[in-house]
Amino acid sequence: MRYVTIEPESHLISFIECDTFEEALQRAGLTIGQVDHGLIDNDAGVGIVVAEFGLFVEPERQHYFTFGGRLYGGNALLYGYGEEGQTVDVPNIHLAPIFLHGREEVEEAIKSEFVVRPVKCTEGFIMWQWPEPSPYSHKGAAA
């Protein structure tokens, strides 16, 4: 199956072939059971997997990229999904993440409304916002 890895530290975007989703996660530098899933392009059927606590890592130790106004911290894996949710080859679409360098560049992107500041809310109350320390006991994984 064909996947795409994103490595913001080296600004590397790679197409990879793996027999299993778990193998693709490992090749992307992600740990099974410590990831979050999201959507990049619902029309094209492209999903993303990132480290669960990637945005909680101190900005001085993390590397960032953005897709569609969303900020991501650390490595990522892109995959395709079919109509019934099954994993399929990532489609041949233009994939162009924008890499951001450190706290100042991310803050500038937020200020210019190029990126939305990541927040965690409960009942309309902001529990956390980037770049505050994690609201959880987890201190974040190394970048």
Return the pLDDT at 142: 47
- Higher-confidence position of 142 and 41: 41
List the beta strands (DSSP E) in 18-61: 35-41, 46-51
| Residue 93: band (very low, low, confident or very high) from pLDDT cuts 50, 70, 90 | confident
Give CB contacts under 8 A, 24+ apart, made by 112-121: 114/66, 114/69, 115/66, 115/69, 115/70, 115/71, 116/69, 116/70, 116/71, 117/71, 118/55, 118/70, 118/71
Residue range 95-109: average pLDDT?
Answer: 93
Residue 121 has pLDDT above 60, yes or no: yes
Residue 13 CA to its chain's centroid (Å)? 13
Q: Is the Cβ–Cβ distance between 44 and 52 less than 8 Å?
A: no
Residue range 78-103: average pLDDT?
Answer: 91
* Model pTM score: 0.89
Return the pLDDT at 138: 53
Return the pLDDT at 85: 87
